[in-house]
Structure 1
C-alpha cells in the first residue's frame, strides 16, 4: 500500500476504517456467538479503541493477538474459543480477510451452511482470465483449462476442532507451503466445498483498490 503508516485494514474508506466496514457485515448476522478480531500485538489497543468508537454492539467483539502466519492466527482463534469453553465437534469458525469489506450476507450464510454440511468450504469466483503456469518464472509451463480454474476469496469456513486436528498433523515441510487454510485440507485429501463469491468481494491490497472501494461505497449510498 505504498508508504502507508499503518496496516491497510486501518486505512479510511467512506469515513471509517476498512476493518470496521468488514466487522459490520458480521455483527448483523445472528448466527455468530462472537466476532474474534485477530491483530498484531502492537495494534491490539488501537483496534479495541476504533471498535468502541464505531460499533455500538462492541460487546459481541473480542480482540485477540494473532500469530506470525495466517494459519497460526486461525489457531489462536480456535484456542481462544476453547479457552472460553465453547469448542465442540460442531463449532464452526468463519475466517475472513479484514480487508474484504464488501462480503455479502448471502456469502456468509452459505459459508455457515456448507461448513456445517461438509466440514469445510471456500469462497471462490470463476477465473475470468486465462491462467498461465510457469515453473521457472520465465517461460510458460502449462495453460490449465479456464473452466476448471477459480479465484479464491474469503470467507473460508470450517468445523474448528477438525481444522486444528489436521493442521497439527502436518509436517514442517507441509506447513511451509501453506498459502491459506483450505490448503490444509487439500494436502490431506479432505473435501472443501465451493461457495459462490462475488466480483465485488474485493481485497483491498493496492492504492487502486482504495479508489475502487470508495466508488463501491458511493454507489451503495446512491442506491
Structure 2
C-alpha cells in the first residue's frame, strides 16, 4: 500500500473582525481569493497526496468557484460549530485511510494564512514524520510574564508565536480528537488538543515572517503587497 500525507485547509470560520460581508477566506487578494493561495501551496508539495478543504455550507458556491480554478483534486468536507469540530470532521473523513495506513500524517492549516510556502509545508511534514508532531512558529522575544499584582515580571524565555500548518502522525491525531470529543474538551488549536491527549513530542519548525494571518482589514493590504511580488 502506498502511504501519503494529507493536508487539511480550514475555511469554515466567519472571520468577522476583518469587517467584510462574506467569509474572509473568500475575499480577493492579489488576483485570487485568499483560500486559493493556501490550496496552491499545498498542491505544490509532492508528498501530500490528499488535500481536504473544510467549508461552511453557506460558502458552497464560493468554494466551488475556487475549486473550479484549482488544477488538482480537492476533497470537500463540511465544518462544525467550532474549529476543533471542523478538524474532527476532516479527520473522520480521512479515518478509513488513516486506519488502513494509507495516510500516515496530517497537516492542518488555517486558510486565513495565504502566504504559507511549499517549503514551510515540506519542512513541517518532514519534522512531523521524524518526531511525531511539528508546528511552525516565530520566536517571541517581546513576551513577558505578569506578577500576581499585575506588574510586569520577567521575559518568558523560549516563547514562540505558533503558526500553521501544524502536523501530526495521523493515527494519534485521530485518536486524540475522538477522545477530546468524548470528554467535551475544546482546545485553542491542534497542538493544544494533542498536548492534552497525546504523548507525541511536538517539534518546533522556524516559521515564516510573512506567514501572516488575515484577521483585520490592514492584513489584507499587507498580504496584497507581499503576494503581488
The TM-score with structure 2 as length reference comes to 0.82
Question: How many equivalent pairs are there?
Answer: 211
Which residue of structure 2 lines up, in the alignment, with residue 182 of structure 1? Answer: 191
Separation in structure 1 between the aligned mates of residue 64 and residue 70 of structure 2, nearest angstrom: 10
1:109-128 to 2 correspondences below 5 Å: 109-128=122-141
- Measured against aligned partners, the alpha-carbon deviations of 1:68-121 in whole angstroms (never above 9, x if no partner) come to 1222211111111124x4544562111001011111222111111111111111
Which residue of structure 2 lines up, in the alignment, with residue 201 of structure 1? Answer: 211
8 Å contact kept, 1:131–1:149: no
Which residue of structure 2 lines up, in the alignment, with residue 47 of structure 1? Answer: 63
58, 70, 79: which one pairs with 2:83? 70
Separation in structure 2 between the aligned mates of residue 2 and residue 104 of structure 1, nearest angstrom: 23
Secondary structure of 1:198's match? coil
RMSD: 2.3
8 Å contact kept, 1:103–1:201: yes
Cα pair distance change 1:9/1:63, threshold 3 Å: same
- Measured against aligned partners, the alpha-carbon deviations of 1:121-180 in whole angstroms (never above 9, x if no partner) come to 111110142334488xxx63664534311001001001122112123334877713x101
8 Å contact kept, 1:44–1:64: no
8 Å contact kept, 1:19–1:98: yes
In proportion to residue count, which structure has more strand?
2
